[in-house]
Structure 1
Amino acid sequence: MNYINATKILPEYLIKELQEYVQGDYLYIPVKEGKHKEWGELSGCKAAILTRNKEIIMEYQNGITVDELSEKYFLSTHAIRKILYQK
């Protein structure tokens, strides 16, 4: 989460109004309904995991065993199987 100085983005009248309720503290402003991003979208983690999972599936289809994939990707055999058998 990034903090933004209110004086850089809000009009002065709005800052004065907000100061009636809070001064010198952090104020969280929630995202509008329907504008939330899913986990990992901003950081790129979701895309990286999806790419990794596709590689695991492709390597398995090319003959790499579950145990070998487990060692290569530092995941348990159970986690590899979940990736392989997901719908």
Structure 2
Amino acid sequence: MSYVKAENILPFELIEQIQSYIDGASIYIPKKEENKSPWGTKTTTRLELEQRNIAIYKRYLQGKNYKILAVEFYLSEKSIQRIVLEQRRKYGNKSE
């Protein structure tokens, strides 16, 4: 998020009107809903997490238990359980 000077983009009358509500402070104007990007689309984080979750599920299907997976992936056992359940719902109980 970058800051933009109001004088450079807004009409003087609008600035005066905004100043009647909030004078000399910074405000955040959110994007319109239609201009918002879904989470994880600007970076590779979403893909990396999906790949990690698939790897966790594959290791679980190979016989590793929640405790071992939690240590391997630096997550809580509860997080591993949640990931396994999500992957099971998504892909079924296949051991490919």
Q: Per the alignment, in what secondary structure is the counterpart of residue 2 of structure 2?
A: coil
For 2:27 and 2:82, the matched residues in 1 are separated by 41
Once the two structures are TM-superposed, the CA of residue 58 in structure 1 deviates from its matched residue by 1.7
In the TM superposition, what are the counterparts of 1:1-87 in structure 2 within 5 Å? 2-6=1-5, 10=9, 24-42=24-42, 44-61=44-61, 63-66=62-65, 67-86=67-86, 87=89
SS at match of 1:85: helix
Relative contact order, higher structure (CA 8 A, sep 6+): 2
The Cα RMSD (Å) is 3.1
Report the number of matched residues. Answer: 85
**Identity percentage of aligned residues:** 25
Give the C-alpha shift of residue 29 in structure 1: 0.9
> Given the two structures, how large is their TM-score scaled by the length of structure 1?
0.61
Structure-2 change in CA distance of 1:20 and 1:77 (3 Å): closer
User: When the two structures are superposed, what TM-score results if normalisation uses the length of structure 2?
Assistant: 0.57
The one-letter code matched in structure 2 to 1:65 is K
Q: Structure 2 regions of 5+ residues with no counterpart? A: 90-96
